[in-house]
Amino acid sequence: MYRRLPLILCYHAVSSVWRTELAVAESQLARQLAALRRRGYVGLTFAESERARLAGRLPKRTVVVTFDDGFASTSRARPALEEAGFPATVFVVTDFVESGDALSFVPSGSGTEAADELAPLGWSELAELRELGWEVGSHTVTHPRLPDIDSPELQRELELSRETIERRLGICETLAYPYGAADERVAAAAADAGYLAACTLTGAHRVDERFRRSRVGIYRNDAGLRARAKLSPVGQALRRTGLAELAEVRHRRSAGSQTD
């Protein structure tokens, strides 16, 4: 079995002034991508990476840079990506791209002073990114937690978002699950909806399936030694161990007890 694995990163907003864990500063992003480039990483979009992986031709060190939610600030990543020579994949929530409304599913704790930072990318901006070699994928229609909705609504979220992006931009091949969450039912629905592949966002990377590819989340506090550890081969290997899975289960239980 072909086991070469890409390093799939997940960013969200790009801002040096928005004080939320979801926003990395432009300089922080540039340092991380430059470090990966120095280490010999080759950048691919998520779809390109998946095709190379399925064909057994994935470069030894592959990085896939992804951005969730479709914040307008994603465009600020362009200089860092261009300097590193990497493309990117941005996963957008189509109802918000269509309406231009603020990304209301982002936690309100981000602060009302950050209203401008909640603006989404528009179709013209996404078309421009596509021209630059970026991939635009689906992050569903409205950003629900997919394991919690019924099958008809799940089908709508997956199919309509893909169809809308295809109609607007000509192609939509991949999907990122809102909140990084996907069980077997959701993964099967993504396959039925016609996607090439889909990705999650979890602490443990024990599951490695075409419609549940693992990503490493990068946030504002991931800087210096913390970032180097997170992006290192050792850090990647640790996320595939049973200890990482146990830690994630404990984290979920703790988070659940705080909301009961």
Range of the domain at 225: 7-259
Asked if the structure places residue 1 within a domain, the reply is no
What is the C-alpha to C-alpha distance for residues 99 and 120, in angstroms, rounded to an integer?
9
Asked if the structure places residue 157 within a domain, the reply is yes
Asked if the structure places residue 2 within a domain, the reply is no
Asked if the structure places residue 28 within a domain, the reply is yes
The pLDDT, as a whole number, for residue 245 is 60
The pLDDT, as a whole number, for residue 1 is 43
Asked if the structure places residue 133 within a domain, the reply is yes
The pLDDT, as a whole number, for residue 227 is 85
Asked if the structure places residue 223 within a domain, the reply is yes
The two three-digit tokens of residue 113, written as one number:
């002073």
The two three-digit tokens of residue 254, written as one number:
């703790």
Give the CATH number of the domain where residue 73 resides.
Answer: 3.20.20.370
pTM above 0.85, yes or no: yes
The pLDDT, as a whole number, for residue 111 is 53
Asked if the structure places residue 171 within a domain, the reply is yes
In angstroms, what CA-CA distances link 140 with 27, 97, 149, 211, 243? 30, 11, 13, 15, 31
Asked if the structure places residue 253 within a domain, the reply is yes
The pLDDT, as a whole number, for residue 255 is 41
Place of tokens 């013209």: 124
Alpha helices in the chain (DSSP H): 26-38, 46-55, 78-84, 94-99, 123-131, 151-169, 184-192, 224-231, 233-238, 242-259
Stretches in the chain below the pLDDT threshold 70: 1-3, 108-114, 204-205, 242-260
The pLDDT, as a whole number, for residue 108 is 53
In the chain, how many domains are there?
1
CA 155 to chain centre: 20
